[in-house]
Amino acid sequence: MSWIRRREICILLYVIPAAIILINHFSGSLGPVTSEIILWASTLATFAILLGVISLFQHHLTVLARQRRGWPYSIILLASFLTTFAFNYIYPTAYDFIINRLLASLQMALLAYVGFYSYTLFFRASGTKNPYVLVLLVAILLGLFYNLPMRDVIWTGWGPLGKWVNDVPNTGGMNALLIGVGIGTLALFIRTILGYEEAYLGG
């Protein structure tokens, strides 16, 4: 069965569906097959979640068995996972409480912490004599004023000025960036179908 692990087989598994989708995109002649492949992608994503859960358990059970650094956190993680999973089927009210009250609040609090981090950054890192950083600070100020809900109370010009920055320099820069990304994606695709790209094969 060693042939199944051959590099060519893995590349073919990528190239054949990609070619079918590409041909259908330009000709429209392989519609049903393309739909089936896209459905497979969704099904595979479901299995990927299962694979993720298995890997999670493998990793944390190993941490516990070998009592590696931070092993008590593994107990908390596995207990949280199993409790949430079980509640979803046996006691949905508790599951809703965990998701809506605990998880949602904790994740929001975590993001709020990033806010405080940003303000510390504004206070500690704003002072500069580097002209490039000064340009960046001016751009930040413009962005902040443009997104300030009460901007018109301070000066009615912030709206048109911010809109111009958004529409002209920003759009130009972003267009260039997107074209670069597009060309890069195309190059990556060609490298992959020709077998030069091996990162996705674990190479």
List contacts with other proteins (CB under 8 A).
31, 34-36, 38-39, 41-42, 44-46, 48-49, 99-100, 103-104, 107-108, 110-111, 115, 118-119, 122-124, 126-129, 137, 140-141, 144-145, 147-153, 159, 166-167, 170-171, 174-175, 178
Q: How far is the CB of 141 from other proteins (least distance, A)?
A: 6
Sign of CA dihedral 175, 181, 185, 188: positive
Q: How far is the CB of 52 from other proteins (least distance, A)?
A: 11
| Residue-level length of the chain | 203
Q: For other proteins, give the closer residue by CB, 62 or 185.
A: 185
Residue 161 near residue 146 (C-beta atoms within 8 A): yes
Residue 166 near residue 146 (C-beta atoms within 8 A): yes
Residue 200 near residue 14 (C-beta atoms within 8 A): yes
Residue 95 near residue 87 (C-beta atoms within 8 A): yes
Q: How far is the CB of 118 from other proteins (least distance, A)?
A: 7
Q: How far is the CB of 130 from other proteins (least distance, A)?
A: 11
